[in-house]
Structure 1
């Protein structure tokens, strides 16, 4: 659900290889949105997501007599192994599965008949969902194959004590140039760097790309990382590094430790970072605030996405109509989505849920700031981007390019051109003009 889950399991590599599989899967499963549902379904998920589905499963059963919802916490490490094998074999999967947003396009493209089109049930509510999630989890024909669940809306978390000590007003930061200038002042005054990131993953670079409405590929499937936007994003990271404003940390634990130790003044991260701070650094309560992500230019997008997931109904589901009804019940209901935020910390992709009073409540950890309100306002503004089955391989190549430019001082334009050439050779895709 979040940045902790970045490793592609070995058994899933076949999914990303570029050859279509799953010929044995059932096809042409047409949902009946008016069906009288009954019977039993099995749902696969993990961690707090499984907890939320189990809780709402009990409510669904109470509202729908003669139904049973069995939620199985399959564990994150096993989930994608089981899903890949089941889709390829055409058997062995439950009625509902959880799929993260960045993985959804790979499954949708490689197994075009493996997941049920949920549009007959959820299509009328398309305008009520985070548009990025809806787009990323639909196929090329616009069929919704994975229903949006939680969003990874990104904001700028900042240490109020560092900003105050340096005399920097966070409200004055509107662009990345503003933030760099603030970072120089903060470092000169407090000795702290501006941001702590794991350069080796390339994740910060991809977040900056999406903020500009760019993915690693465009709608035609061509490689985009030689674009002016990509060069600007990598140059930004390199500039911050050259000015001594970046602390390079290793992995998830490194990021959390850096935050606890107070190494840096700010963190550009998704809304779920709130839970990480509260859980891992309770001693920093009252020392954090949140504002919008700086824009690349005045009037530009001030958010991006990192993380989030959805629910899908495999075509081999034994009770697809009941499965789809449960997905609709959980995800296309403002009260249910809001309850998952309150109880399990899952930030809704369903926009009507963001009007719940909970999102306006002051949060003690953030000095009484109603931080969820900011993320609620920005979720509908997340730029949509295109994913392909080659995103995983391209991400590895791009990560090496980011390291070369940010840590080793390589020219961003040349480095990205080299990376694009490598991706083209590896995937057979064209480089966008």
Structure 2
């Protein structure tokens, strides 16, 4: 028990506690909106008084990827040699910071870069508002004149297009395959009397995993089940998505319900063939190294990460296309991506586009970048270069460039939308809730639960869309 002096001390401290003035309590929506306004004003003043890093350059490019930045550092001298009168700078900016800084820069008109790379899941908010107020210029006519529209897989332009305009050039394609421990899986395939080519449908794949892999104590596949992005590649593969080409919300359609009902028993319940060690970092790589799971989902960029983090698995890994939902069906999906946009603030859009083509369409550079990252570029001309046909010892002699290129034109379409991020968040909430419920109660009542949750999620996104003016309507 505190003594009397301690108690009085506490009382004195409490008597001096902050008490809001009476007008504060009379605000119709409480103090929260006022606090948001104050934070916004302070942020704007801070941006004006302490702007982001300034560089002495005529063309400034922001990128969030260290691999891209390193490639551009090697490529820029050749561009500078053609234009000795200008200075070009590539700045490495963190992914989360690039979105905040770019939004603030567009809004305030302060220190806007000439070109900027944006990750595929973050581009949507930049497409909001009237077209003439979007911070990026429409590149369709320039891409068409450069012949790029014929060289980029058509589906890869969709995420960076909105209302008939193309606001970004795709840096990559990112087809998805499975990377697997051939040294552990091949003996099980031999035991089953089949080859890897026989796992060409999900039905055959799942049955093999339950009959031959799970009895060994291992899991067939690492699968993220604590976030929506783990489910997303399979939803896209099945033909689902977030918005259709007319901009309508489709996360409550039957294809989403059916795909989620198919996916849940793979990650939860007594017959699960997947386990989640996390999709990044040491636990992910250790699980693959120790053989706790035999396969991981592998967009092209992940193969480079596996090579760098697990050099000890060289010669023990291989790649296979995804199983198809139906015989002869799509055997790939897509995960991740980057666009390069040119901002309205650039004083010389033609020069900025020339730099974009130097970085994204110079075949020598694309070949060099592929050798160091395994990322399949969006310009299909590069796929004919020798690097893409090179046999890789790490992957037991597979020419992984040709393997990924063969799938590039079959990647599913991902429709871009200003509210794509919101739709992904809401679907992700349903995925996480469904996994938790399936673990507790199994399949009973699962379809009704999913339909109700998806309907609520879709209605929430539609409500936000109804609040957005029709910028294309006639005045």
Q: Which residue of the partner structure matches residue 178 of structure 1?
A: 204
**C-alpha contact 2:124 2:419 (8 A) present in aligned 1:** no
Residues 1:245 and 2:273 are matched in the alignment: yes
Structure index of larger Rg = 2
CA drift at 1:319? 2.7
From 24, 32, 45, the equivalent of 2:63 is 45
CA drift at 1:413? 5.3
Residues 1:133 and 2:168 are matched in the alignment: no
Find runs of 4+ consecutive structure 1 residues off by over 6 angstroms. none
From 192, 197, 204, the equivalent of 2:218 is 192
Q: Measure the CA separation in 2 of the matches of 1:417 and 1:221.
A: 22
**C-alpha contact 1:222 1:429 (8 A) present in aligned 2:** no
CA drift at 1:378? 0.7
Label 1:339 to 1:84 Cα distance change in 2 as closer, same or farther (>3 A).
Answer: same
Label 1:56 to 1:100 Cα distance change in 2 as closer, same or farther (>3 A).
Answer: same
**C-alpha contact 1:260 1:280 (8 A) present in aligned 2:** no
Is there any run of 5+ residues in structure 1 with no aligned partner, and where? Answer: 1-13, 15-38
Residue pairs, 1:7-406, within 5 angstroms: 40-46=58-64, 47-110=66-129, 112=131, 113-123=134-144, 124-141=147-164, 143-167=165-189, 168-241=194-267, 242=269, 243-253=271-281, 254-406=283-435
**C-alpha contact 1:330 1:336 (8 A) present in aligned 2:** yes
CA drift at 1:345? 4.2
TM-score by length of 2: 0.77
Is there any run of 5+ residues in structure 2 with no aligned partner, and where? Answer: 1-35, 37-56, 467-475
Q: Measure the CA separation in 1 of the matches of 2:150 and 2:458.
A: 35
**More deviation, 243-252/264-273:** 243-252
CA drift at 1:323? 0.8
Q: Relative contact order (alpha carbons < 8 A, sep ≥ 6): 1 or 2 greater?
A: 1
Residues 1:423 and 2:442 are matched in the alignment: no
Aligned to 2:58, what secondary structure does the other structure show?
Answer: strand
CA drift at 1:370? 1.3
Q: Measure the CA separation in 1 of the matches of 2:372 and 2:394.
A: 17
Name the structure with the higher helix share.
2
1:109-156: per-residue Cα shift (whole Å, max 9, x none)?
357331011223212321201222212112212x22111112221011
Q: Measure the CA separation in 2 of the matches of 1:186 and 1:127.
A: 45
1:188-241: per-residue Cα shift (whole Å, max 9, x none)?
453211111221112132111211332112223322233232123212221223
Q: Measure the CA separation in 1 of the matches of 2:277 and 2:129.
A: 35
CA drift at 1:251? 4.8
What do you get for the CA RMSD once the two structures are aligned?
2.3
Q: Measure the CA separation in 2 of the matches of 1:258 and 1:315.
A: 46
**C-alpha contact 1:96 1:323 (8 A) present in aligned 2:** yes
**C-alpha contact 1:40 1:319 (8 A) present in aligned 2:** no
